[in-house]
Amino acid sequence: MTFTPASAKTLTADEISSMLAGELCGSSDAVFGQVQDLKVAQANEVAFFSSKPNEMGQHPSDDDFQAMHGSKAGLLLIDKKCPPPSQCHIKVENSGLAATIMAQFWQSRRAAFTAGIHPSAVIEDGAQVAASAYVGPNCVVGKNSTVGADCILYANVVLYDNVHLGDACVIQANTTIGSDGFGYSWDGQQHQHMPQIGGVRIGRGVEIGANCCIDAGTFEATEIGDGCIFDNLVHIGHNSKIGRFVIMCGQVGISGSATIGDGALFAGKSGAAGHLHVGAQARIAACAAVMSDVEAGQTVAGQPAVEIKLHQRMMATIRRNARR
């Protein structure tokens, strides 16, 4: 492996168990310095296994359990309800989170970034970049924009004028924030562009993937709430207000002036039309096209998106009819 370790400090099984407030079962003389995949981990590495269903609702298969039992990892992190393996292990509430915490301790490449602005980056007049932020090669920070403490901007990120990033945001490469919103009026001869001067306001701890586009608002800022996480190639139209901790998977698109409630989840390639509201904690299935308001907590699917049980009955009916 070729990363710069976040911490070279190795830990004993006991120390790890304390860090995670877990319950250590069995013993190990080894010291550990890395989390690794269950199938390739060795005696001096930590691996994890989740007996809970994954984000797609799939339970681990018999093969998965067998992989756990056959793992050569010196230390396993498992959920409390998981049938205990013979290897030395630590029982924790959430084994995925526990592994994340240990990986952040040992192997976060983000920790390797030195604060500062790469000499090739362009910081325009009136822009403010926190001293603890990292701004990578060929980034552009437009006029009067701000980059908060501990932010990481990977290479070639473009922030237009009047874009504000809260603290601890991470923006992957080639992403564009603050581009002109898509607002035009036809004058009988051509489309006239409505100036878009509202900028973008992004909260704390927001993570945005590569090659995403977030447009500036017309008068007021387009807003992305604290703790949102967006995957690659996501599009957010102008004037949209995205709540806190919203999850958007790859290639999601949100049209202009939509409001999205806290904790909503958009699966891959789904989207929402403009001027509508998606309630808090709503779940939008992959490829779903939201064309009208979605209630808080509702799960929808299909094009146009409908309540998921209805969608499933619709699909089952079509399939049955086609087979007759």
Print the binding letters for residues 121-160 with a second copy: x by CB under 8 A, - otherwise.
-x---x---------xxx-x--xx---------xxx-x-x
Binder of a second copy out of 148, 166, 237, 261 (CB under 8 A): 237
Does residue 202 interact with a second copy by CB under 8 A? no
Q: Give catalytic status of residue 69 as yes or no.
A: no
Binder of a second copy out of 75, 76, 99, 151 (CB under 8 A): 99
Binder of a second copy out of 12, 65, 274, 293 (CB under 8 A): 274
- Choice between 24 and 216, CB closer to a second copy: 216
Polymer length in residues for the chain: 324
Q: Buried (b) or exposed (e) across 264-277, using 16+ Cβ within 10 A?
A: bbbbebbbbbeebb
Count of other CB atoms within 10 angstroms of residue 27: 10
Contact window for a second copy (CB under 8 A) among 14-22, 65-73, 78-86, 188-196: 188-196
> Minimal distance in Å, beta carbon 107 to a second copy?
5
Contact window for a second copy (CB under 8 A) among 8-16, 65-73, 77-85, 273-281: 273-281
Torsion sign (Cα): 119, 124, 125, 127: negative
Residues 6+ apart with CB under 8 A from 132: 115, 149, 150
Enter the tokens of residue 37.
């995949």
Contact window for a second copy (CB under 8 A) among 15-23, 30-38, 73-81, 83-91: 30-38
Q: Buried (b) or exposed (e) across 228-251, using 16+ Cβ within 10 A?
A: bebbbbbbbbbbbbbbbbbbbbbb
Does residue 86 interact with a second copy by CB under 8 A? no
Q: Which of these is catalytic: 238, 275, 277, 311? A: 238
Contact window for a second copy (CB under 8 A) among 9-17, 65-73, 81-89, 180-188: 180-188
- Choice between 28 and 145, CB closer to a second copy: 145
- Choice between 26 and 269, CB closer to a second copy: 269
Does residue 74 interact with a second copy by CB under 8 A? no
Please give the backbone phi and psi of residue 317, each rounded to the nearest 5 degrees, phi first: -65, -45
> Minimal distance in Å, beta carbon 296 to a second copy?
18
Q: List, as one string, the DSSP characters of 136-190.
A: -TT-EE-TT-EE-TT-EE-TT-EE-TTEEE-TT-EE-TT-EEEEPP--EEE-SSS
CA–CA gap between residue 323 and residue 242 (Å, rounded):
43
Catalytic residue ranges: 238
